[in-house]
Structure formats: C-alpha cells, structure tokens
Structure 1
Amino acid sequence: MQRISIAISLISILLCSAILTRALPDEPEFGYDEDSANGPQHWGDIKEAWAACKTGQMQSPIDLSRNDVQVIPKLWGLKYWTYNPQYATLSNRGHDVAVDYLRGDAGSIDIDGSSFSLVQIHWHWPSEHTIDGRRYDLELHMVHVSPQPDGTNKTAVVGVLYKYGSPDPLLSKVEQYLGDIPKENEEESIGEIDPSEIMSGKMFYRYIGSLTAPPCTEGIIWTIDKKIRSVSRRQVELLKDTVLKPYAPGNARPLQPLNQRNLQLYLSKKPLY
C-alpha cells in the first residue's frame, strides 16, 4: 500500500508540473527588460538576421530634438492623403496589439512619387520617440508599404504620440474587442475601422530610420506628427492586459543615436489628412 501511495503521489506531482508548464507562456524571443538576457541591448546577438539591431547606424527610435532639426516651411516630397474606412482584424502579436487591414484600400500616402498603402496600425507604451527629451504615454504606428519590382517592400511609418487625458477615438472603437484576443497570435474581426479617426496636425518630423523591433531593418521612412493627442489611462491598461505578461510593463525600445542623420521638421498650412 505504501508503494502504491508513493506512486500515486509521484504521478500527481508530474501531472501538476505538466499542467503548470502548459499554463506558463513560452519565454519570448526578444524582450524590453534591459536587465534581461533577451533585452534590447542583446537583440543583435540572438539571431544573425537581427544583426542590424546591434550594428546598424540608422536605428529607431530617436529623440526629436530642436537642436538637430532642419525646419522646412512646406511639406515638400509628401502629398496630402485620404484614409478610408476598411474591414480589419485586431490581433495580439505577443509583444503588441495590431489592427491589420484585410484589403489594400484603407488609404495611402505618396512620398517622393512612390505610393505607400496603409496595411497596419499598432501601439507602443510608453512612446518610443521622444520630443526634446520628453517621453509620452503611448505611441501609435501606421505602417505603410510600397511593393518594389524585385518583390520586396519599401516601408514608411507614420508615428503619433499621446499623453494621458480624454479617451482616444480610434481606441474607443477597438477596446471592446481587446478582451476577446487574450492569447498570442489570436485575431478578431472588428468590422470597418476608419484610420482618419487619427486626426493629424500641421507639423511633422521626417528622418530615415529602422523598425523598432527585431529584425531592426533599416531604410524605413519615418514621419512623426508633432501634434500630441490624448488617450485615457484605462485604454493603455487594456492594451497592457492583452499582451503577454513579459511585455505588459512596456514595449518601447530605448532611444538610438542620431549618427548625423538629417532630421527635418515640415510645416504645413493645413493638416495632411
């Protein structure tokens, strides 16, 4: 009887261990804790394809400092654009929450004669870019792509910064779905989402940088709206509660050196969109 009891106890322990193992999320490939072995300073060492995270000279995000900026009194090279309501899905990518447009007619921007179609919107908390050293509470990225003849894509990202205040209209449209995608790589259809809910200002920073997460690909055209919008604390907390716990405290990459890149501030008489 004693042997049977011991065997039963061992089986119970093994079962409990297996259940706990399944319940715990896998260690993410990369993280944002600077004291972690997979933190931002180690991204370039984790995979050979991520080497640019360590060796790149045009990395993002950066501080948008008035001391480094060249002021241009018109939006040369960037035409006005219009965004359209389009069907989308909301997904939990583990390290962030993203809105993906199902078709390519959610709108586009024209930069130096090339058309870039809006394909995705996602969020970082706190903001990744800073303005004159100030970090804000949230940053939205509108990812646009332009297919090239060789089968690759050129990428342009419009960044929008937020501080705590009244709720953000776009997040107000999607927050009801956040609780339905608690697991990584799950997605939820959310009907039509209008990108024009993201109201624009009349001043924009422009520079050439990189993706702010691995593989840190360079050559990304960044346009950062100088107008600061508002978002409620509750909306940011909902975003945090959706992603994997290792990313919940924050998913903002540390600032990268400017390395003598051109940083421009464009002025316009009317909003871009």
Structure 2
Amino acid sequence: MRSARDLRIAVSALLLLLLLSAGVLAARAQHEIDDESEFSYIRGSENGPENWGKIKEEWVTCGTGRMQSPIDLSDRHAAQAPNLGYLNHSYLPVDASIVNRGHDIMVKFNGDAGSLWINGTAYHLKQVHWHSPSEHRVNGRRYSLELHMVHLSAENKTAVIGILYKIGRRDHFLHELESYLKRIADTKEKEEMVGMVDPWEARGDGEAYYRYMGSLTTPACDEGVIWTVIKRVTTISAHQLKLLTEAVHDGFEMNARPLQKVNGRDISFFCPGDHHERYYAAADQ
C-alpha cells in the first residue's frame, strides 16, 4: 500500500512540475509575442518605416505607392477650391470603447456615429485614433499631435479627417477619456467600454481645410484615401499628451510616419468667404 501511495505522490509531483514548467514557458512565449512588433516607427531599424514595404507581400504599396500619406501641405502648392464647400457631416452620440492597439490608442464607435458626405457618397464614422507628433505638416511645420477620424463608405472606401494639435488648453474630448487612458496603459488590445461618446466634440470648429488623395499611414498603406486636414489648429494640454504617449507600448511613444513625396498630386484648399488670410493667421498663432 505504501509503495502505491508513494507512486501516486511521485506522479502527482511530476505532473505539477510539468504544469508549472508549461506555465513558465507559455508566459515567456507570450512575453516574446507581446514584445514583437511587425512594424515600428524607428528609422533605420529592420522593421522601420522605410522598410514597411519589404516586411510582407501585402504591404508592398508602403514602398512602391505614388500616392502615400502623410505629406507637407504647402500653401504654395495648394489650389483654392471654393467649389469644395463646407464639410457636410453630422455626428451622433453613440456607445464607444477605447482600445490600446499597442502602436496607438483608438476610440471605436459601436453603432451609428454619423457620416461625412463627399461628392454624394456617405462615409460612416468608425473610429478615431491619435499620432504623436503630427503626421501631416502645414507649410513645413509639425505639431504635437494629430487625430484621425476614420470613415468608411458602403463600398469600403476610406475618408479621413485629420485634426492638428499644439500644446495649450486641455482638449475636452480627451478630458472625458483620461481615466480610461490610465486604465488601458501598456495593455495591448485591451478594450474598455466608455459609454456614450459624442464624436462632434473631437471634430473641432475649423471650417477651412486641405483636401488631397492619399493613403493609410500604417501598413498596408492602402491608397485611394480621401484626406481632409483641418487648417485651424486646436489645443491639448501637456498632461493629456503625456497620457496618450505613455499608454502605448514602448517604442511607439512617437508613432508618426515620416513625410511622403507629393509626386505632383493636387492639393486643394477650401476657405469660407474671401477673407482667408485670417484663417492662415489663426492657424499659425
């Protein structure tokens, strides 16, 4: 009886040891997976922005595309386009969640958050996310942060509104999310429900904007994206910017793709009325 009991104890101890070893190996594997990134923003690195097009076959457009984003929006090359008219959009408060995607922070709308209409086509707002510093530049100037409001049409075509930020007064839209930013810091793919969110508060109040055809600014860098970058620069507090940059994974505190070549693309600029000088002045203050 004693030998059978000893055998059972020995077998149980062995099984426990195997389970513990498996747990340690699994934890190590998970840690390695969490530390690995398919792409980075570190110039000169193997998976840095200049090499995105070589990492995967489906990412080749990142390296070969002729209509890539972001670009420098130069007033010297932008053509006045009064025919574009005011932005035709309507946004609705809707349930949303905040997601740490590792390389950025995204607010995902879980319902009808409203639409942006361009040339008779409705582009439905799906999510917003941030890049620091700004990806687009205006007349060579780079700003502290850029918000992207991503819209999709029924045909899965993309239209993005870009909003630039400089350090100043706190941003009300981000202020409502600050507690959630702290909660999802350094937690890849963690999703927190935040309740009703009004995307109109993210939109800002600028009426003048640039318009051009470009691409997504992360792999696979798909082209055919309609870009609308608001001329008026809004503000964000230094504390809010720190919350955003500290929430992402190490190495993604700066998650802005370098400027891409314009390659002769048309850049249009809409400004209400004939007094566009005051919009230039307001944006540059």
Same fold by TM-score greater than 0.5? yes
Which residue of the other structure, out of 94, 97, 103, is the alignment partner of 1:86? 94
> Is 1:169 paired with 2:172?
yes
**Structure with the greater alpha carbon radius of gyration:** 2
| Counterpart residue type for residue 33 of structure 1 | I
| Counterpart residue type for residue 52 of structure 2 | W
Q: Deviations over 1:111-142 (max 9, x none)?
A: 00100010000000000000000000000000
Give the TM-score of the pair, scaled to structure 1. 0.87
CA distance in 1, matches of 2:142, 2:25: 42
CA contact (8 A) 1:109 1:116 kept: yes
Q: After TM superposition, give the deviation of residue 73 of structure 1 in Å.
A: 2.7
Which residue of the other structure, out of 184, 187, 194, is the alignment partner of 1:190? 194
Q: Deviations over 1:83-115 (max 9, x none)?
A: 111110000001000000001x21101100100
Q: Please, what is the CA RMSD of the aligned residues?
A: 2.1
- Could you say which residue in structure 1 is the equivalent of 2:138? 131
- Could you say which residue in structure 2 is the equivalent of 1:240? 245
Q: Deviations over 1:17-39 (max 9, x none)?
A: 98666556322000000021100
- Could you say which residue in structure 2 is the equivalent of 1:205? 210
What is the SS of the residue equivalent to 1:227? Answer: coil
Which residue of the other structure, out of 43, 51, 63, is the alignment partner of 1:54? 63
Unaligned runs of 5+ residues in structure 1 are: 1-14
1:23-102 alignment runs, 5 A limit: 23=31, 25-76=34-85, 79-102=87-110
CA distance in 2, matches of 1:79, 1:16: 55
CA distance in 1, matches of 2:109, 2:170: 23
Q: After TM superposition, give the deviation of residue 55 of structure 1 in Å.
A: 0.2
Q: Deviations over 1:222-266 (max 9, x none)?
A: 000000000011111111111110212x00000000000000001
CA contact (8 A) 2:88 2:118 kept: no
What is the SS of the residue equivalent to 2:270? Answer: strand
> Is 1:115 paired with 2:122?
yes
CA contact (8 A) 1:137 1:164 kept: yes
CA distance in 2, matches of 1:242, 1:20: 22
| Number of residue pairs matched by the alignment | 252
Q: Which has the higher helix share?
A: 2
> Is 1:229 paired with 2:242?
no
- Could you say which residue in structure 1 is the equivalent of 2:268? 264
Q: After TM superposition, give the deviation of residue 268 of structure 1 in Å.
A: 2.3
Which residue of the other structure, out of 131, 142, 148, is the alignment partner of 1:141? 148
Give the TM-score of the pair, scaled to structure 2. 0.83
CA contact (8 A) 1:200 1:225 kept: no
Extract structure 1 runs of 4+ deviating beyond 6 A.
Answer: 15-21
- Could you say which residue in structure 2 is the equivalent of 1:158? 161
Q: After TM superposition, give the deviation of residue 40 of structure 1 in Å.
A: 0.2
